[in-house]
């Protein structure tokens, strides 16, 4: 366990080197929030609710999703893993008593601590402009269920990114797959529109996909878009998906190693 704690510390240090990148990203994610505010503000003009939710509730949903991504989003992990494979850096992990998934997970956790700090900073700067436009529910169970949901979201996001990164065992260039998956995840994860605004049949189908648990589900718990029963059921489905994806990541890793050729002295 100590070696992964050490990887976490090294990950913290290396991510702090890129602090300006995180800062720039935070600023522009704030702009993304402004787009949401303008678009939904215009859509709500002259209306009390859309899909049963007020403008404040809708904006709160997007703000929570926005901040959440800084803590649980896998932004760059797929690229880093694919670079490890392409450059042969992966070879050193094959010779050492270290589990690559756990190593990458600890580096991912470190990166999220750093980006999370910038997310909070961005939120604190933005809050004076948005404070009176937010409407967070206060039920305690939402926090109690929201935190494990967030942890599972992080595992799901990381595992998907890990699997895509491992595609570098088979393909020279994986960015196409990554961005294709990002488009699907962004839409089906509820980052473009709250998923409960989709037709009920579509919503019920998406509920059983892992993308649903990448952003919408924890966001919906924390912002009051879904009730207790839905949250408990969802948490069970989310845990199953997290387990499946971790197993899939291990299977892809083992399969990829069979393809891998470690060259050089």
Nearer to another protein, 121 or 197 (CB): 197
Helices 55-72 and 19-43: crossing angle in degrees, nearest 10, is 160
Closest CA to 214 of 62, 67, 22, 69: 69
Q: Do residues 30 and 122 touch, judged by C-beta distance below 8 A? A: yes
CA-nearest of 9, 63, 40 to 197 is: 40
CB of 213 to another protein, least distance (A): 19
Q: Pick the closer one to another protein by CB: 75 or 158.
A: 75
Smallest gap from Cβ 192 to another protein, in A, equals: 5
Report CA Rg, the chain: 19
Residues 97-156 that bind another protein (CB under 8 A): none
Cβ distance to another protein smaller for residue 3 or 56: 56
Q: Does 39 bind another protein (CB under 8 A)?
A: yes
Q: Which of 10, 12, 50, 134 binds another protein (CB under 8 A)?
A: 50
Q: Which is nearer to another protein, 20 or 138 (CB)?
A: 20
Among the candidate windows 41-49, 93-101, 136-144, 158-166, which touches another protein by CB under 8 A? 41-49
The candidate with the shortest Cα–Cα distance to 218, out of 53, 30, 73, 114, is 73
Binding of residue 54 to another protein (CB under 8 A): no
| Cα 162 to the center of its chain, rounded Å | 12
Give me the least distance between CB of 161 and another protein, in Å please. 14
Q: Which stretch binds another protein (CB under 8 A): 12-20, 134-142, 206-214, 243-251?
A: 12-20
What whole-number distance in Å separates Cα of residue 35 and Cα of residue 103? 37
Q: Does 32 bind another protein (CB under 8 A)?
A: yes
Q: Which of 1, 42, 124, 263 binds another protein (CB under 8 A)?
A: 42
* Rounded Cα gap, residues 206 and 212, in angstroms: 6
Considering only residues 179 through 238, tell me which ones interact with another protein, judged by CB under 8 A.
179-180, 183-184, 186-187, 192-193, 197-199
Q: Residue 247 interacts with another protein (CB under 8 A)?
A: no
Left if phi > 0, otherwise alpha if psi is -120 to 50, otherwise beta: which for 83?
Answer: alpha
- Residues touching another protein, count (CB under 8 A): 39
In sequence order, the 6+-apart residues with CB closer than 8 A to the CB of 31 are: none
Lookup result for tokens 């404040």: 56
- DSSP secondary structure string for all residues of 18-42: THHHHHHHHHHHHHHHHHHHHHHHH
Interface residues toward another protein, by CB under 8 A: 17-18, 20-22, 24-25, 27-29, 31-32, 34-35, 38-39, 41-43, 45, 47, 50-51, 75-76, 173, 176-177, 179-180, 183-184, 186-187, 192-193, 197-199
């Amino acid at each position: 366990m100590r070696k992964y704690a050490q990887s976490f510390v090294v990950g913290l240090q290396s991510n702090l080197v890129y602090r300006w990148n995180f800062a720039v990203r935070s600023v522009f994610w704030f702009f993304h929030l402004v787009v949401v505010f303008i678009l939904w503000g215009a859509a709500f003009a002259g209306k009390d609710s859309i899909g049963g939710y007020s403008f404040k509730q809708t904006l709160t949903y997007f703000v929570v999703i926005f901040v959440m991504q800084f803590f649980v989003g896998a932004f760059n992990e797929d690229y880093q893993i694919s670079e490890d494979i392409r450059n042969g850096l992966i070879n050193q992990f094959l010779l050492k008593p270290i589990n690559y998934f756990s190593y990458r997970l600890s580096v991912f956790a470190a990166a999220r601590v750093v980006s999370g700090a910038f997310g909070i900073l961005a939120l604190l700067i933005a809050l004076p402009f948005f404070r009176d436009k937010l409407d967070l529910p206060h039920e305690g169970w939402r926090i109690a269920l929201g935190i494990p949901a967030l942890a599972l979201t992080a595992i799901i996001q990381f595992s998907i990114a890990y699997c895509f990164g491992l595609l570098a065992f088979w393909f020279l260039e994986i960015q196409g797959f990554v961005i294709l998956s990002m488009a699907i995840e962004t839409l089906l994860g509820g980052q473009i529109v709250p998923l409960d605004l989709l037709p009920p049949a579509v919503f019920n189908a998406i509920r059983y996909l892992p993308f649903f648990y990448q952003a919408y589900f924890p966001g919906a718990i924390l912002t009051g878009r879904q009730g207790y029963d839905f949250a408990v059921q969802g948490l069970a489905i989310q845990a199953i998906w997290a387990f499946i994806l971790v197993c899939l990541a291990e299977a892809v890793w083992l399969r990829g190693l069979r393809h891998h050729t470690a060259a050089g002295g």
